[in-house]
Homo-oligomer: A and B are copies of this chain.
Amino acid sequence: MRVLLVEDEKRLAHLLKDGLAGEGFAVDVTYDGRDGLWMATENPYDVIVLDVMLPRMNGYTVCARLRDAENWTPILMLTAKDGVHDEAEALDTGADDFLSKPFSYVVLLARLRALVRRGGHARPVSIVVGDLTIDPAGLRCRRGEVNIPLTPKEFAVLHGLARRQGEVVSKSELLAQAWDFSYDGDPNIVEVYISALRRKIDSPFGRSSLVTVRGAGYRLEA
Contacts and interface: CB of A to CB of B under 8 A. Distances in A.
A189 to B, nearest CB: 14
Interface stretch (A38-46, A85-93, A194-202): A85-93
A120 B184 contact: no
Contacts of A137: 166-168
Contact of A216 (B68, B107, B167, B181): B107
Given A14-B67, A118-B22, A152 B98 contact: no
Contact of A10 (B68, B110, B215): B68
Nearest to A165: B138
Copies in the complex: 2
**Main secondary structure on chain A at its contact with chain B?**
mixed
A56 interface: no
Contacts of A18: 72, 96, 118-119
A213 interface: yes
Interface of A: 10-11, 14, 17-18, 21-22, 67-68, 70, 72, 87-88, 91-92, 94, 96-98, 107, 110-111, 114, 118-120, 135, 137-140, 151-152, 164, 166-170, 172-173, 176, 181, 184, 213-216, 219, 221
B172 A11 contact: no
A152 B97 contact: no
A104 B172 CA distance: 16
Nearest to A18: B118
B172 A87 contact: yes
A11 B213 contact: no
Contacts of A170: 97, 111, 114
A11 B216 contact: no
A10 B119 CA distance: 17
A139 B219 CA distance: 9
A141 B162 CA distance: 20
Given A10-B67, A14-B72, A67-B14, A216 B94 contact: no
